[in-house]
Every structure is written in structure tokens, then in C-alpha cells.
Structure 1
Amino acid sequence: MPDLSDLPIVPRELVNKDEPTWWSSSAVLGNRYFVKFAWSRPAALRLAHEIAVLDALSREPAVPYLPKVVASSTDPLLLVTELVPGRSLFEIIDSIDRDKAGRQLAHFLCSLHQSLDRVGDVPPAPLQPATTDTLRDQFGKWVRPEQRETVIRWCDWTDSVLSTPRPPVLVHADLHGGNQIWYGDQLRAIVDLETAGLAEPEYDLRALPGTGPGVELVTATMHHYREDTGHTLDPARVMAWHLRTALGDALWRSEAGVPLPDHRTPPEWIDDLSARFTSLKL
């Protein structure tokens, strides 16, 4: 794209890290485009994977809400997509209609989950690194004494719920609110498909129970998913993955001395999880 070569480029601050897996970054080009690049082999492989997935899923009939690819190359490695206005789901969740938002998310997920035959061979999606064994052994020191038994009971329940695997589909695998761009109550784009791969459908909903107060967004998404596909998502499996995600995130942040995303405490997160289980009658 030589016509883009003279546009001003504003890179994000590059932070040197010891782990080459994360040696990647992005930049804004001419206030119109978004550029992703990498400078280590592990990070480059993830970006090359995203380029291939976007290429396959952008062909007609295209999966909705994907970022519009302007240019891509694997030699040199670069991905340029159209910059769209909007804010993350985290920023607008309190001001939008959860049912309308769930309908749009379900539309994306239904199309994505039915697209496996379009992308060829894809690897399994990277699952949460914190296993239930790790959570049993290490999470107790970060919560109140009376909550430790609850965490162990939840981990036992999670192992039981997930003991029987489900047929895999193509999942985004990192569908948290920061990877969603919303303009008002309209979903504009879902980004960052570097870890897209094989997993059960419920894995893609694992971040939704913790997005905003209550569980209205995840229940609305599951409802519209069933209406669109005829396939019922299991709320127990969604919450089992959500448990591992939420507690795993709280564990590594607490051990690293990094504040939790909402600047609260692990005991408060346990209280929130209890409320979500109750709301979903689990």
C-alpha cells in the first residue's frame, strides 16, 4: 500500500519485557488506520495466524463485526486495518441495552462458530493457564478464611462440569470487553483474533458474566444464540470457564502485585461470583 507510506505513524510506547511471547505492539496511522506488528518469532506467529484467520473469515459471506483489513503481509509481517470510532464494552456497559447488545454478540458468535470449515487447520485455543489444582492450592491466601472452602467447592464443581468435552468450534478465545469496539449501543468491531482456535462454544462467553453488574448480558447472548442456531449453550459450562478465568486473573495479579482491573480485592471478587451463581440458579 504505497499510498499509505507518507502518513504519520504514532506507535504505542514499546515496553521492553523479558518474555519474547509478548514482543508485539500497534500504532495509529494517519488517524485512519490501525497497524499491528511484532519483533519476535512467538509474537510473529500469533500475528501471522490472525492475518490468515481474518483473510478467511472476511470472504463472503463474511463473519460480521470483523475489522476491515486494508493491507496485510507476512513478509514483511504487518497488519493494517481500518480505524473505527468507538469505545470498549467496559466503558459503555452501564449505558446500553443488554438485550440489544447480547443480540449483536450472539450474531457474531453464531457466524464465527459455524466457520470452522473456512479456515482449514487451526490449533486448539489456548485455555486458561490457571488450572483448578492451582486455584485450590494458591488462591486461599488471598481471600477471607470462610471463602476458602467456597473456592475449593467451586473448583470441584468446575472439574465435574467440564469433565466431558464438547465438540469444538472455531472460537475467538479472548472475547473480553477490551476487544470489542462499540459506538453508542452499536457493535462496530471485534478485534484481536491472534488466539482464535478450537474450543467448545461456551468458552467464548467466559468473560461475559463479569461484564457489568448482574448477568443480563450473558443471559441475553445465550438466548439470542439459541434463537439463531437452535443450539442451547450450557450456562454451567460458561460459568465453569468464567470461574477459571476470573480467579486465574485475580491470582496472577495478586501474586505479581498488580491491581485487579476494577481496583477491588479478591474477596470482593468472590462475593461477586457468588452473586452470579445465584442469579443463574447454579
Structure 2
Amino acid sequence: MSRRADHQEAPELTEPTWLAEPTVHALRAALRTVAPDLAASTIVPRGLEPDDDPMWCGASAVADGRFVVKFAWARPPALRILHQARVLDALRTAAPRLPLPDVVAVSRDPALLILRRVPAVPFFGVRQLIGPAERDAAARDLATALARLHDPAVLRAVGEAVGPLPEPAAHATTDMLRARFGALVRRDQRDRVMSWCDWADTALAAAGRTVLVHGDFHGDNHLWDRDTLRLRLVVDLETVGTGEPEFDLRCLPGDCGIELFTAIVAHYEKLTGTTLDVDRIMAWHLRTVLGDALWRAEAGIPLPDRRTPVQWVDDLAARFAALGTFDR
């Protein structure tokens, strides 16, 4: 499929539609309209499970082994698909050196986004392979991608092209953590979490700078070449909006480990000529990590690494200690 032949501009004035049900059959029916040559291909869905919350009624599939199809069976994820399509279109001009997916086709009726698949793996698939010899290059790759996205000129260009942008938020507020997280951990950890929440409120009390943020920059959303250990793509831009640079780095202390994280910060500051506030990053990290553990535990969903909230709190304490967060 070529972009010239198959890329469909989504009309801005029509309400999107979406699949009637989360099935491969429904997806094939949609593809017969949007990309007929893929309708009869092998389709391998990912995340195709019914959900009672319309907010999460979306998924993706690999079609013909060469394309990734984003689709929805409710309005909120349909709107996110179209938002991602508009953002990708704007970024092709505003940040042409940012490693982004190649858009093959876009449709509003139903909401579909078809991207060219790249042979790469999520960061979590190469994390253990990045040792001291590879660390600087990996840090530079991640810092460069974020620096390009956070360029003030990119925010202006995307805002003009896309219109009002959302403001992505962390998984939980500190008030939510104070009220509900204590039930998940040891008694001695409860007081620690409370004091961390007080500290995070102070760290984030003042407003930060405003840039264009990815909004969900975790290890599944940047893809790597397993052989060269270099960044290939930044993906899943459905949460792109406005926020502070520190918000976009909030997953890196846990995903990358402290040594790689601090190397990323150093490269980012050198590339942008700006200073990152590590306390603010860690305050967002706190809210993200504990918020993720909270909603998963309350929903009866295992944590991604199959460990427990108790262990996640201990991990967080170790990261704070490695950074000397409360010693400064």
C-alpha cells in the first residue's frame, strides 16, 4: 500500500463512527471500505477484549504482517485515533526528524488509522541488553526524540494544525493515593507514602514550562532495533497534548533504571539548553507508579511485572535513595 494511493484525509466536520463490536469480523468489514486489499489478509489482533468502560474500547491489529491498524468500538477511542492521525500529520512537517510511524491510511467512517509496521521491539525487549557500553547512545537517542518533540516551535505548529490540545494527566492525584493506597501496602509503608505525597505536592506547586508532550512515554511506546540497540520509532501518540517536559520523563526512572535515566537527563539538557527539575520528574513518577498500581489492584488486574504494590513501593524508595532525592 502506498501513502499516495491510500492515505485518506479525515473530514474535520463529520462525527466519526466506529466498529459495532470488538471482533476480527467487524474489523474486516471496516477494512473492505478503507483498505480493501487488507480485508482478506491475516489479521492478528492485540487488546481485543470487551470493556465495560467506553473510554477503553479500542485496540490494534497487525494486518498482512506489514501494517498496524488502530480501531475502536466506542466514541472516546475513536476520537483518540483521529487525534493521533492529525498529530502525526502535523509532526511530519513540524518535526520531520522525529522517528514516527508512517501513516498509510486514515478514515473517520469508521475511525481507523493504518500504519506501516517496522521490525522493532518495545524498549522492554532490549532493556537488559543495554549495558555500560551502549548506555550513552541509548540515552542520546531518547533525549533527542524528546528534545525534538518539546521544541517550542513544534508546539506552535502542531497547535495551529490540530487546534486545542488536551492536557495529559498522571494516573492518580496525591489525594487519591492518600485516601486509598494505604490499604495495599504494609503499615510502615503507609506513612512513607503519605510523606511522599506531601513532598510531591510541594515539588509540583509551581507551574512548569509548557511544551508539546507525548503524554504516555513509557517503554512500550518507543520501539528499538534489537541488533543495534538504537531507537527506531516513537509510537501511540493518541495522548499528545500540552504539559511540562518533566511530565514526559516521568516513566523513565523505572523503565530505564537510574543510570540510564540520569544520562538521558544530561543529554536532554545539553541538546535543549534548558534545565530539567529532577524533583518534578520524580513527583510525576510517584503519582504515575502508585496510580498505576492502585487502579490495577482495585480492578483485580495483575501489575505488569506480576509483582505487588508492596514491592513497587520498595522499588520507588530505592529510586529515591539512588537519586538522593531527600538528601538535598
TM-score of Structure 1 vs Structure 2, range by shorter chain? over 0.9
Q: Deviations over 1:189-238 (max 9, x none)?
A: 111111100100000011111114x3122211111111111111111000
What letter is aligned with 1:87? V
- Residue aligned with 1:198, SS: strand
Secondary structure of residue in 2 paired with 1:12: strand
- Contact between 1:173 and 1:195, CA under 8 Å: does it hold in 2? yes
CA, structure 1 residues 60+251, in 2 after alignment: closer, same or farther (shift >3 Å)? Answer: closer
* Deviation of the 1:29 alpha carbon: 2.0
Aligned-partner Cα distance in 2 for 1:257–1:272: 21
User: What TM-score do the two structures reach when normalised by structure 1?
Assistant: 0.94
1:124-162 Cα shifts (integer Å, max 9, x gaps): 322024110111111112111111111000000000000
In the TM superposition, what whole-angstrom CA distance separates every residue of 1:59-108 from its partner, at most 9, and x where no partner exists?
26514111111222334422111101121111211112232211111111
Q: Which residue of 1 aligns with 2:60?
A: 26
2:99 touches 2:145 (CA, 8 Å); kept in 1?
yes
Tell me which of 123, 137, 144 is aligned to 2:179: 137
The alpha-carbon deviation at position 11 of structure 1 amounts to 4.2
Counterpart code for 1:33: F
How many Å separate the matches in 1 of 2:233 and 2:93?
Answer: 16
Pair 1:100 & 2:100 matched: no
Q: 1:50 deviation in Å?
A: 0.4
Per-residue displacement from partner, 1:32-55 (whole Å, max 9, x unpaired)? Answer: 111112232211111111000000
Q: Distance in 2 between matches of 1:70 and 1:101?
A: 28
Q: Find the aligned partners of 1:127 and 1:162 in 2 and give their Cα distance.
A: 13
2:89 to 32, 39, 55: 55
Matched, 1:253 2:287: no
> Given the alignment of the two structures, is residue 127 of structure 1 paired with residue 169 of structure 2, yes or no?
yes
Gaps of 5+ in 2: 1-5, 7-32
Which shows bigger deviation, 193-202 or 132-141?
132-141
- Tell me which residue corresponds to 1:116: 155
Question: Which of 63, 66, 73 is equivalent to 1:39?
Answer: 73
Q: Distance in 2 between matches of 1:118 and 1:94?
A: 37
Aligned partners of 2:147 and 2:272 also within 8 Å: yes
Give the letter for the 1:198 counterpart: T
2:140 is matched by which residue type in structure 1? R
Percent same amino acid at aligned positions? Answer: 51
Deviation (angstroms), 1:267: 1.5
2:46 corresponds to 1:10: no
> Equivalents in 1 of 2:206, 2:175: separation in Å?
18
The whole-number CA distance in structure 2 between the counterparts of 1:60 and 1:238 is 26
1:281 aligns with 2:324: yes
Task: Tell me: higher relative CO, structure 1 or 2? Use CA pairs within 8 A at least 6 residues apart.
Answer: 1
**C-alpha separation in 1, matches of 2:53 and 2:44:** 20
Alignment partner of 2:243 out of 195, 199, 206 = 199
Conserved in 2, the CA contact under 8 Å of 1:71 and 1:80?
Answer: yes
| 1:162 to 1:60, Cα distance in 2 relative to 1, 3 A | closer
Alignment length (residue pairs): 281
> How does 1:227-238 map onto structure 2 within 5 Å?
227-238=270-281
TM-score relative to the length of structure 2? 0.81
> Aligned match of 2:206 in 138, 159, 164?
164
Helix, strand or coil: the match of 1:189?
strand
CA distance in 1, matches of 2:220, 2:113: 19
Q: Hey, what's the Cα distance between the residues in 1 that align with 2:183 and 2:141? A: 40
Cα root mean square deviation, aligned: 1.7
User: Deviation string for 1:148-195 (max 9, x for gaps)?
Assistant: 111000000000000001121100000110111111211111111111
- Listed as ranges, the gaps of 5+ residues in structure 1 are none
* 3-state SS of paired residue (2:124): helix
Aligned-partner SS, 1:6 = helix
1:122 and 1:198 in contact (8 A); partners too: no
